[in-house]
Amino acid sequence: MPKLSIIIPCYFNEENIPVTAKALIANEALFPADVSFEYVLVDDGSGDNTLGALQAFRAQYPDRVRIVELAANVGSYNAIVAGMEYATGDCNVVITADMQDPPELMVKMFEHWRQGFRLVIGNRQDREEKGFSRVLATLFHRLMRRFALPNIPVGGFDYVMFDERIRREVVAMQERNSNVFYLMTWLGYPYVNIPYVRAKRSIGRSRWTLPKKLKLFADSFVSFSFFPIRAISVTGILLGIVALGYGLYLTALKLFGAQEPAGWTMLMVVLLFVSAFQMVALGVLGEYVWRGLDAARKRPMYVVQQVYE
């Protein structure tokens, strides 16, 4: 009997949980009769009564619901790793608590898993973000495919099914300030990509704010690509070549008695440009150094306050 662990990070989802629980239980009927289910719900330091809603769900189905209560909010990706640590299924799936990702897609994902694929990805074909957020998301995924992980699907993903081996490997990494979904593709296993259209959120409001998106952008890019450091080196070389050429030009003017350009404005522009580049370069290097320091300290990604099982 294969066992499916459904991992759900929860943060301010008090109103969502009853609807989500009902939909997930109803979705069980679409699976083959020999499949058993386990729900691992992680309360990521919610400030509302999310934990109470989770406990009500567990009271209805105590044999299949496990709640992992974290001591503080650590972010959805760390909360997912916490759920992976406590999951015991032969295959696992990560789904959001707001039902924007269709639970019925799990059935098709499960079929591919049974065919031998360790990783099955639900790839969003449309995004609910508008304006700057949409532009940022599009830019993020294009840069990741171009300079970091060319094997990820276009548009990104956060709905995924994976087997027990991938679960163990990702949990063992305990990689901080990273992207848990991209870690799965980084492992290199072949995967199946299933496109779907994500539903619009109907209950509550999203806590996925712009600062969190920007942090994810930096974490993902720095974790999987050395391109920023290489770009700094190349830019520095190019600036050096330009400076050398301009210096030779001024020297030639001096030797042949030509009038030298006044150049005060140009000098200030160049000085400010180079200074700005140096500050940006130091900031990029600092991002890498800080992440190395954070990893070296080996502080836990999350602290589990209590497990209800």
**Tell me, what's the pLDDT at 260?**
64
CA dihedral 136, 138, 141, 144 (to 10 degrees): -60
Residue 4: the pLDDT is 96
For 204-253, the DSSP string reads S-----HHHHHHHHHHHHHHH--HHHHHHHHHHHHHHHHHHHHHHHHHHH
Contact in structure between 198 and 100 (CB atoms under 8 Å): yes
* pLDDT for the residue 127: 61
Neighbours of 72 (CB within 10 A): 9
Distances (CA, A) of 303 to 167, 169, 257: 19, 20, 73
Burial of 162 (0-12, 13-18, 19+ CB in 10 A): buried
Residuewise pLDDT in 10s, the chain (309 residues): 899 999 999 999 999 999 999 999 999 999 999 999 999 999 999 988 999 999 999 999 999 999 999 999 998 899 999 999 999 999 999 999 888 889 999 999 999 999 999 999 998 876 665 667 677 778 888 888 888 888 888 877 889 999 999 999 999 998 888 889 999 999 989 999 998 887 777 776 777 677 788 888 888 888 888 888 888 888 888 888 887 887 787 788 778 777 766 666 667 677 778 888 888 888 888 888 888 888 888 888 999 999 998
Question: What's the burial of 96, exposed, middle or buried (CB within 10 Å: 0-12/13-18/19+)?
Answer: buried
3-state secondary structure 104-133: CHHHHHHHHHHCCCCEEEEEECCCCCCHHH
149, 191 contact by CB (below 8 A) = no
Burial bucket for residue 27 (CB in 10 Å: 0-12, 13-18, 19+): middle
